[in-house]
């Protein structure tokens, strides 16, 4: 399950791209995440790139430069072909050995002292001069419910005496989401409309959502899939995962409260989801693994959801931050304000468990499929991953530095999410950020 450390993880490595060596950079040479980009407003086709410092290495241009010539046996034709298109799907379809080989070559070429610096400098693009598309064509999207802290807090709002349903600690809960409304960071979308049922009304009403919320999640991009009818064992699950991104799964809480009985989320979730442009590979996160534990008083996972490697290093120590910038804050030049800080390590169900459970019945996953972790909340109030939790179900307003207050998201608000691993002398492995802005509902 866990990937062994190798020379690409060496904390002493530095890049000839000077900005990659700056303290606090999300994209040092130990990271090398993948994305899809093009120059802003130039009309060119999108292409595959790798983030390094404040630059993007254009992989197509890098291969054409012949800098990879010395890696002929390692970076074979399949890898070159897989990175020549406008999305990451062909690269995701390769195996973990190919991903690791490309990472090793990139690390060597971008290191300080590389003889290929002059060949690759022209293949670099400033991130500030680029725009992004979705990293992959997402065929299917499944959203899980992996945080017991979130599930318990939400459950207490509706079932104070019995917040967790009896199946939660036995089975990873999920639902099939809508892939067509997933967009990359910078997404602007209209406030959704739908049916809601106010507590003071005997019948539902139709109109704009009044309880719009965000959900701080981690997205899991699948690599090689499985044949229909087969299952991916938990000990092999992460070899089928290409990498992780940040995910904001916007939610219309009032629409959800009315429609989710008995089948679950529908219009309350299908209007917009926003992901970060960069996909951080599982290999890049190898030094930031953490032991995964299950409280002895809780049911232990069934055999298909448990293994020794899971217990030893199945969790990821990734900090998750949520910030809010209102329209007036933006106009006044005020920076976004932090609302919460949590950690992916606190998830009740892990990446490998989500993959193993998703396929155990024979469901076939495919390269580019996206799994959402569900809202990730920690054990403390300030680590809650949604406004529904931070405001105690809408009862306690949050005060902002601008003098404004928020219970739920209002028109013009921008929600920014950031994620990173680091600490203890290790490089910061960042995900960049995912930002989304809410526009007024369309006229009815």
> From CA 141, how far away is CA 144, in angstroms rounded?
10
In this structure, are 91 and 162 located in the same domain?
A: no
75 — pLDDT class (breaks 50, 70, 90): confident
Judge whether 127 lies within some domain: yes
In this structure, are 364 and 326 located in the same domain?
A: yes
Domain final residue, candidates 132, 158, 178: 132
Q: Model confidence over 11-50: pLDDT tens digits?
A: 999 999 999 999 999 999 999 999 999 999 888 999 999 9
71's CB contacts (< 8 A; 6+ apart) are: 101, 105, 108
Task: Give me the CATH number covering residue 298.
Answer: 3.90.850.10
Q: Model confidence over 199-209: pLDDT tens digits?
A: 999 999 999 99
Task: Give the bridge partners for 195, in sequence order.
Answer: 206
pLDDT at 1 over 60: no
Overall domain count for the chain: 2
In this structure, are 222 and 355 located in the same domain?
A: yes
In this structure, are 308 and 351 located in the same domain?
A: yes
> From CA 351, how far away is CA 356, in angstroms rounded?
9
User: Which residues are marked as active site?
Assistant: 150
Provide, rounded to the nearest whole percent, the portion of the chain with pLDDT above 70: 99
In this structure, are 152 and 124 located in the same domain?
A: no
Cis (ω within 30 of 0) for the bond into 262? yes
Residue 156: domain span = 141-439
Buried b or exposed e, range 285-323, using 16+ CB within 10 angstroms: bbbbbbebeeeeeeeebeeebbbebbeebbbbbbbbbbb
């Amino acid at each position: 399950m866990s990937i062994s450390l190798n020379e690409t993880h060496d904390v002493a490595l530095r890049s000839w791209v000077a900005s990659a060596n700056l303290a606090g950079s999300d994209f040092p040479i130990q990271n090398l995440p993948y994305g899809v980009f093009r120059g802003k407003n130039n009309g060119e086709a999108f292409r595959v790139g790798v983030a390094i410092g404040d630059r993007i290495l254009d992989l197509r241009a890098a291969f054409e430069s012949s800098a990879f010539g010395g890696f002929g046996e390692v970076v074979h034709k399949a890898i070159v072909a897989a990175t020549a298109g406008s999305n990451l799907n062909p690269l995701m379809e390769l195996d973990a050995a190919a991903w690791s080989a490309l990472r090793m070559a990139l690390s060597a070429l971008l290191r300080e002292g590389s003889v290929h610096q002059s060949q690759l400098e022209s293949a670099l693009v400033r991130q500030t001069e680029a725009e992004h598309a979705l990293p992959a064509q997402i065929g299917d999207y499944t959203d899980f419910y992996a945080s017991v802290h979130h599930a318990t807090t939400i459950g207490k709002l509706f079932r104070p005496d019995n917040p967790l349903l009896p199946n939660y600690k036995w089975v990873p809960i999920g639902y099939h989401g809508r892939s067509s409304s997933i967009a990359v960071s910078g997404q602007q979308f209209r406030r959704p409309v739908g049916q809601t049922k106010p507590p003071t009304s005997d019948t539902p009403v139709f109109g704009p959502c009044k309880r719009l919320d965000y959900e701080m999640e981690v997205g899991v991009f699948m690599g090689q899939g499985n044949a229909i009818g087969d299952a991916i064992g938990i000990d092999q699950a992460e070899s089928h995962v290409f990498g992780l991104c940040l995910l904001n799964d916007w939610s219309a809480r009032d629409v959800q409260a009315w429609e989710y009985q008995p089948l679950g989320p529908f219009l309350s979730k299908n209007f917009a989801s926003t992901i970060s442009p960069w996909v951080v590979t599982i290999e890049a996160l190898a030094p930031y693994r953490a032991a995964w534990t299950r409280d002895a008083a809780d049911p232990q996972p069934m055999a298909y959801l448990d293994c020794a490697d899971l217990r030893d290093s199945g969790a990821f120590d990734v900090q998750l931050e949520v910030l809010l910038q209102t329209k007036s804050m933006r106009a006044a030049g005020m920076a976004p304000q932090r609302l919460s800080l949590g950690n992916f390590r606190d998830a009740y169900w892990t990446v490998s468990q989500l993959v193993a459970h998703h396929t155990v019945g024979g469901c076939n996953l495919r390269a580019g499929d996206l799994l959402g972790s569900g809202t990730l909340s920690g054990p403390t109030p300030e680590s809650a991953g949604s406004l529904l939790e931070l405001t105690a179900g809408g009862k306690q307003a949050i005060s902002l530095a601008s003098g404004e207050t928020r219970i739920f998201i209002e028109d013009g608000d921008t929600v920014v999410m950031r994620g990173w691993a680091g600490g203890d002398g290790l490089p910061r492995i960042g995900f960049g950020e995912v930002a989304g802005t809410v526009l007024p509902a369309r006229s009815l």
